[in-house]
């Protein structure tokens, strides 16, 4: 999804200022962020009807994080579960939904594999990322399957500053962790091009409790982009790839390892047939591959997709967004002697109408998906915002979503070809409040009902053999509070989430999801020095086998010192108080550690 950040911000602010007093107040705030994922067009994140989080390049910069999940986890209501250290299998639960109920995009291109459903977020290097947008709630209408809990859109870096730019960074940390990044870009008025490479190597630590063997991680990531204008057509190409190896310990604590490669390639063409109609098409290819080195076990997804979007300004108060998405994928796997090779075609059509009038904003959307295995599926979204003066707005919304079972659900271990899609219906009520020119508050209350939930049912308790079945219903009720404030050289935010993700039949809380979490962040500048602290508190969680994971609190401290206009030093102390905790039963987590990096970025 093409995003010129500065141009998009100006365009979004101008569009919002023309619609309602509440939007106009926010558009004048120079700390406003642009959100493109919620409605497939640029809007101010603080004015969007959908609840969302935007993680900026500045936040990624100061985090000195090894992957994007280390930043995502410091937001309430986003549960990150990792089976060990850097590069280990990682799951993200948004708003209490299942980990495979979150759709992950890279530059607007779906990267959830057709094999196991969950994207390999642990392989995405923050150094190559411009921003991360997290939209909470159902978005199947615009994006198709999987968007039940929300959408995470990872947008790669594309520097369009006129002239040439170059930067490089090297860093080190505990567990013999080493990291290096180099980037170069060039831009003119009509064209730009850039490339970046990031390398990470870590000896790691024992992934399993009871093991004494360190398990490491190696990741080489590259990205490249170019854009130009050919007559009236804007053309852009993008490529991102992560490849390397990940070591881990199996069920018997035997050291094993696997190689991986994830890639996204995209060509985008866009032009405006009229002054009120903008059309663009994105042709993309993704690959998700892993190969176990001690056995024939492997996973591979290859997907080609065409995404055609049209934006029509009917009037200055009425906007139509319509499009088609077609994808054809091949998913193949081998696991414990069971394999499959499945081809799947999916076509999605959507129509969205955004209407504004004075204090009112209404968004109506409908989607239709045709799946070669599961047939037709219809989804919808309805969102209404009412401005109460210049600083207050209430929002009511509802929507549906679905997730089609992946190939492993149907044909892998315990697979069931008769599975039906999981379906959800969500209702939500929100309050947005501008407390001052640089202070905002948002309160969300939601209920998400998920039907046909898929779970593994044991049919033989002697061998624990069984199969996946549509047996359960889940109801997730939640309250979210987000507050932020910014001064001249400081900013602070606080987020709290209370959710009840429960199985409606048994009343049990769904596994690995916290009912209560809180996140705090504070950044303060002192001339050439910037200091920051991020705090996360999470309560008890259930895990597999009846295990109970204790509550925990983490604190990370960051620092940045600009030695000159070109040179800077960055540091992060992870787990400052050296807390011992578990994200998954039986798996270790990092102790206190110091990461230090030196960056050279000529102005």
pLDDT digits (tens, 9 = 90+) for 469-504: 998 899 999 999 999 999 899 999 999 999 999 999
**Average of pLDDT values for 215-235?**
96
User: φ and ψ at 123, to 5 degrees?
Assistant: -100, 0
Answer positive or negative: Cα dihedral of 200, 201, 203, 206.
positive
- Give the separation between CA 99 and CA 534, rounded to whole angstroms: 24
Q: 64-78, pLDDT tens digit by residue?
A: 999 999 999 999 999
Q: 517-541, pLDDT tens digit by residue?
A: 999 999 999 999 999 999 999 999 9
- Give the separation between CA 181 and CA 200, rounded to whole angstroms: 9
Reply yes or no on whether the pLDDT at 22 is more than 70. no
**8 falls in which pLDDT band (50, 70, 90)?**
very low
Q: 306-360, pLDDT tens digit by residue?
A: 999 999 999 999 999 999 999 999 999 998 778 999 999 999 999 999 999 999 9
In this prediction the pTM is 0.93
101 with 402: CB under 8 angstroms?
Answer: no
- Give the separation between CA 433 and CA 443, rounded to whole angstroms: 9
Q: What is the DSSP string of 576-588?
A: TT-----SSTTB-
Distance of CA 191 to the CA centre of its chain: 29
End-to-end CA distance of the chain: 28
- Give the separation between CA 403 and CA 552, rounded to whole angstroms: 32
Reply yes or no on whether the pLDDT at 24 is more than 80. no
Query: What per-residue confidence (pLDDT) applies to 601?
Result: 93
272 with 278: CB under 8 angstroms?
Answer: yes
Query: What per-residue confidence (pLDDT) applies to 47?
Result: 87
Q: 247-259, pLDDT tens digit by residue?
A: 999 888 999 999 9
Instruction: Name the residue with tokens 């659900």.
Output: 409
The angle formed by the CA atoms of residues 482, 484 and 485, to the nearest 5 degrees, is 160
- Give the separation between CA 458 and CA 103, rounded to whole angstroms: 28
Residue 175: CA atoms inside 13 Å, Cβ hemisphere, count?
26
Query: What per-residue confidence (pLDDT) applies to 27?
Result: 36
Q: What is the DSSP string of 449-490?
A: EEEEEEEEEEEETTTTEEEEEEEEEEEEEEEEEEEEEE-SSE
- Give the separation between CA 287 and CA 257, rounded to whole angstroms: 20
492 with 460: CB under 8 angstroms?
Answer: no
Query: What per-residue confidence (pLDDT) applies to 161?
Result: 80
Detail the DSSP E strand segments found in 388-421: 392-403
Query: What per-residue confidence (pLDDT) applies to 133?
Result: 96
Q: 539-597, pLDDT tens digit by residue?
A: 999 999 899 999 999 999 999 999 999 999 999 999 999 999 999 999 999 999 999 99
Q: Residue 498: name the closest of 518, 469, 482 by CA.
A: 518
Reply yes or no on whether the pLDDT at 14 is more than 70. no
Query: What per-residue confidence (pLDDT) applies to 326?
Result: 98
Three-state secondary-structure class, residue 141: helix
Q: Residue 2: name the closest of 113, 147, 130 by CA.
A: 130
Query: What per-residue confidence (pLDDT) applies to 537?
Result: 98
**464 falls in which pLDDT band (50, 70, 90)?**
confident
Question: What's the per-residue H, E or C state across 25-42?
Answer: HHHCCCCCCEECCCCCCC
**9 falls in which pLDDT band (50, 70, 90)?**
very low
Q: 81-120, pLDDT tens digit by residue?
A: 999 998 999 999 999 999 999 999 999 999 999 998 899 9
- Give the separation between CA 123 and CA 58, rounded to whole angstroms: 20
- Give the separation between CA 460 and CA 179, rounded to whole angstroms: 48
- Give the separation between CA 308 and CA 315, rounded to whole angstroms: 22
**Average of pLDDT values for 5-32?**
36
Q: What is the DSSP string of 527-557?
A: TTEEEEEEEEEE--EE-GGG-EEPPEEEEEE
Instruction: Locate 332 and state its tokens.
Output: 């193949």
Q: Which residue has the higher pLDDT, 33 or 582?
A: 582
- Give the separation between CA 421 and CA 19, rounded to whole angstroms: 38
Residue 259: CA atoms inside 13 Å, Cβ hemisphere, count?
6
Q: 369-399, pLDDT tens digit by residue?
A: 999 999 899 999 999 999 998 899 999 999 9
Percentage of the chain with pLDDT > 90? 84
Q: What is the DSSP string of 296-344?
A: S-EEEEEEEEEEEEEEEEEETTEEEEEEEEEEEEEEEEEETTEEEEEEE
Q: 200-213, pLDDT tens digit by residue?
A: 999 999 999 999 99
Three-state secondary-structure class, residue 250: coil
Reply yes or no on whether the pLDDT at 32 is more than 60. no
Three-state secondary-structure class, residue 200: strand
CATH superfamily of 5-600: TonB-dependent receptor, beta-barrel domain (2.40.170.20)
**Average of pLDDT values for 13-19?**
35
**Average of pLDDT values for 452-466?**
82
Q: 162-216, pLDDT tens digit by residue?
A: 889 999 999 999 999 999 999 999 999 889 999 999 999 999 999 999 999 999 9
Cβ atoms < 10 Å from Cβ of 494: 17
């Amino acid at each position: 999804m093409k995003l010129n950040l500065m141009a998009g911000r100006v365009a979004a602010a101008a569009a919002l200022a023309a619609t309602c007093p509440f939007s106009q107040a926010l558009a004048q705030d120079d700390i406003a962020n642009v959100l493109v994922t919620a409605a497939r067009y640029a809007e101010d994140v603080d004015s969007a009807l959908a609840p969302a989080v935007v993680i900026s390049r500045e936040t990624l910069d100061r985090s000195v994080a090894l992957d994007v999940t280390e930043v995502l986890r410091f937001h309430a209501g986003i549960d990150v579960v990792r089976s060990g250290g850097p590069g280990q299998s990682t799951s993200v639960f948004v708003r209490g939904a299942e980990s495979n109920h979150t759709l992950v995009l890279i530059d607007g291109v779906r990267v959830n594999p057709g094999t196991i459903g969950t994207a390999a977020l642990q392989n995405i290097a923050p150094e190559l990322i411009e921003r991360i947008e997290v939209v909470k709630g159902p978005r199947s209408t615009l994006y198709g399957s999987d968007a039940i809990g929300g959408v995470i859109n990872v947008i790669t870096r594309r520097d369009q500053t006129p002239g040439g730019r170059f930067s490089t960074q090297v860093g080190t940390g505990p567990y013999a962790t080493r990291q290096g990044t180099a980037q170069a870009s060039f831009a003119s008025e009509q064209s730009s091009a850039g490339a970046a490479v990031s390398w990470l190597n870590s000896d790691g630590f024992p992934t399993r409790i009871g093991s004494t063997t360190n398990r490491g991680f190696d990741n080489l990531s590259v990205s490249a982009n170019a854009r130009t204008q050919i007559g009236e057509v804007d053309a852009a190409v993008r490529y991102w790839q992560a490849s390397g190896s990940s070591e881990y310990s199996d069920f018997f604590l035997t050291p094993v390892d696997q190689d991986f490669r994830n890639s996204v390639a995209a060509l985008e063409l866009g032009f405006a047939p009229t002054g009120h109609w903008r059309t663009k098409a994105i042709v993309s290819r993704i690959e998700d591959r892993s190969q176990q080195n001690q056995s024939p076990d492997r996973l591979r997804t290859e997907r080609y997709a065409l995404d055609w979007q049209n934006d029509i300004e009917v009037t200055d108060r009425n906007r139509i967004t319509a499009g088609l998405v077609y994808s054809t994928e091949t998913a193949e796997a081998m696991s414990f002697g069971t394999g499959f090779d499945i081809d799947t075609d999916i076509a999605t059509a959507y129509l969205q109408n955004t209407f504004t009038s004075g204090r009112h904003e209404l968004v109506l959307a409908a989607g239709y998906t045709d799946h070669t295995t599961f047939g037709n599926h219809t989804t919808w979204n309805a969102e209404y915002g009412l401005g109460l003066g210049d600083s207050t707005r209430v929002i009511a919304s509802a929507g549906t979503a679905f997730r089609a079972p992946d190939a492993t659900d149907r044909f892998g271990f315990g697979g069931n070809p008769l599975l039906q899609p999981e379906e959800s219906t969500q209702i939500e009520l929100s309050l947005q409040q501008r407390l001052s020119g640089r202070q905002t508050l948002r309160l969300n209350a939601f209920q998400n009902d998920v039907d046909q939930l898929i779970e593994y049912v044991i049919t033989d308790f002697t061998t624990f053999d069984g199969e996946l079945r549509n047996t359960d219903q889940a109801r997730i009720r939640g309250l979210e509070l987000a507050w932020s404030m910014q001064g001249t050289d400081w900013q602070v935010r606080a987020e709290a989430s209370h959710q009840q993700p429960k199985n409606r039949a048994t009343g049990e809380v769904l596994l690995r999801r916290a009912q209560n979490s809180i996140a705090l962040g504070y950044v303060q500048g002192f001339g050439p020095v910037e200091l920051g602290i991020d705090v996360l508190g999470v309560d008890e969680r259930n895990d597999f086998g009846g295990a109970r994971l204790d509550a925990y609190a983490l604190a990370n401290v960051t620092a940045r010192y600009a030695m000159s206009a070109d040179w800077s030093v960055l540091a992060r102390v992870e787990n400052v108080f050296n807390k011992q905790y578990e994200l998954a039963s039986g798996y270790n987590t990092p102790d206190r550690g110091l990461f230090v990096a030196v960056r050279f970025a000529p102005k």
